[in-house]
Structure 1
């Protein structure tokens, strides 16, 4: 199995981690092991990344009782239910052959698992034939506990092509978001975390965030090197609100070896869906660096 395409290989070479990436990449498989199946069966959330009919990339959040996501063998998962009304990926997740990236992240345990593959509609939901399955380390994951399900909600409350003042405040306060990217070998959904302020709002249509050291595979940055489309999902954990952004991103490499990503917004959807899950305030990861605006400060 080819673990990396040319985009990821180019970033690995530029950063000087090609040998390490080859070693770490051995963790990527096509099979779902028993421990992974057990993990999935415990999750109340699943993030899915895909492209809509117009080719825009989005990341969406599915919620359900534990067991709504389950392995149905060593190479396939089944998801019961679908996306809330008005979600940008509703049609895509009902279309056979959609390339999807999924990530199950458990804030209770700081564990996460990614599974990428091809979607097939199924009665009451959909299935994904697994092509890439792997776990990630707990770096930059904030710990939270589930509180309750909010039965009511207006659904989609705003659509636009730029961030409102309130949405800008929400992004600046975020400690977690998810990013969907794509390339010729499929679509991927990943996680980014840090202390509030790690995502900078440069303007109502442009964001930036640092690329913190990770597993050295550079799947996300590699995809962006091959295809600049990206979809971001900002969950507001305490209220259950979601902010979804679709646009294009590029990686900037600094002379000191650091990296950051610039994202230009093309479309935004804000929603407060019924049936959303609300979580506790976070216990921040000890791995979180100081956000850009706080670097050099003597206080934390």
Structure 2
């Protein structure tokens, strides 16, 4: 299910396969390869429809996926007053914002770099994604994203939140870096109902639009992410759009970057590591809504207090969570 899947514009729908080998492998294992290839050609565009361009321009923040100097993907955010993003061309999104010096990938915004973008409107549970390349960088000011893939996502598993009025001042961000989760970080992760995940294809080929970075949303009731140990966590893969962008990337390159945000305090917790997909799950796990489990071996943790500049009040959990019984920890 896609938002605005049938909206057409003056651009062109992609003619080649929109999926790389890792995505095709996961689609085949899930038994959806043929029909998803047809769907992907119809809904993944190399331009943004007018509704998506208007949508991004109205947002106060965007989630981005960037690769560090070693090619490891990280998820982070950029924010500004509505209008800090705008689109003068169907395949170009201008972003008037920059990462602050304490962000783990602050120095990784550069012309030609691959980038994944997720626009998400928490109050309406609406989200749209773009993947492409960075250009027109002005350090400290902003850049543009030349869109190679654009598509909408259904609102499943997004918790509704309403933005609070701007906070006049926040304490300066405080950072902690470690190779494992500390006690407060374990508590934060196991109590989270939302996180974002950045992933990458095996190659970051500029000429192949199916290759690059991607960033996606994951949601569930508190406890849906489990900490196995300070060096390992686990989260479920619920039924989604069947494109398997994230899982396809993890099949091709196991590196992943997770981002947890406290939407009230502004805390941002970055976790990077290597993921593995578990297909052999119990019937109990499936009955709780999980079709697969993803385990992440943690390599680095960065905890930044007061780093997210916006504040949102929780309104309600996604209706899909209650409908599928996802109200407790997923059994393993």
TM-score (norm 1): 0.94
Q: Deviations over 1:238-294 (max 9, x none)?
A: 212110111111111015573110011111111134671010024100111425527
Map of 1:91-130 to 2, 5 A cutoff?
Answer: 91-93=107-109, 95-123=110-138, 124-130=141-147
The 8 Å contact of residues 57 and 247 in structure 1, kept in 2 or not, is answered as no
2:192 equivalent to 1:174 = yes
- Give 2:161's aligned residue: 144
- Give 2:296's aligned residue: 263
SS state of the match for residue 238, structure 2? coil
For 1:58, which of 74, 90, 94 is the aligned residue? 74
In structure 1, the gaps of 5 or more residues are: 296-300
CA RMSD of aligned residues (A): 1.6
The 8 Å contact of residues 20 and 216 in structure 1, kept in 2 or not, is answered as no
Q: Deviations over 1:46-86 (max 9, x none)?
A: 11111111322210111111011111210110110211221
1:156 deviates by 3.5
For 1:48, which of 64, 71, 80 is the aligned residue? 64
> In structure 1, what is the Cα distance between the partners aligned to 2:307 and 2:233?
28
> In structure 1, what is the Cα distance between the partners aligned to 2:268 and 2:123?
19
Provide the aligned length of Structure 1 versus Structure 2.
294
The 8 Å contact of residues 85 and 155 in structure 1, kept in 2 or not, is answered as no
SS state of the match for residue 161, structure 2? coil
The 8 Å contact of residues 48 and 102 in structure 1, kept in 2 or not, is answered as yes
Bigger Cα displacement from structure 2, 149-158 vs 264-273: 149-158
- Give 1:283's aligned residue: 316
> In structure 2, what is the Cα distance between the partners aligned to 1:43 and 1:112?
11
> In structure 2, what is the Cα distance between the partners aligned to 1:29 and 1:294?
35
* Runs ≥4 residues deviating over 6 A: none
> In structure 2, what is the Cα distance between the partners aligned to 1:192 and 1:23?
25
SS state of the match for residue 51, structure 2? helix
2:237 equivalent to 1:219 = no
1:96 deviates by 1.4
In structure 2, the gaps of 5 or more residues are: 1-15, 204-210
The 8 Å contact of residues 236 and 330 in structure 2, kept in 1 or not, is answered as no
The 8 Å contact of residues 111 and 137 in structure 2, kept in 1 or not, is answered as no
Q: Deviations over 1:119-165 (max 9, x none)?
A: 12433201110000000000000100001334222213211111110
SS state of the match for residue 250, structure 2? helix
> In structure 2, what is the Cα distance between the partners aligned to 1:281 and 1:111?
16
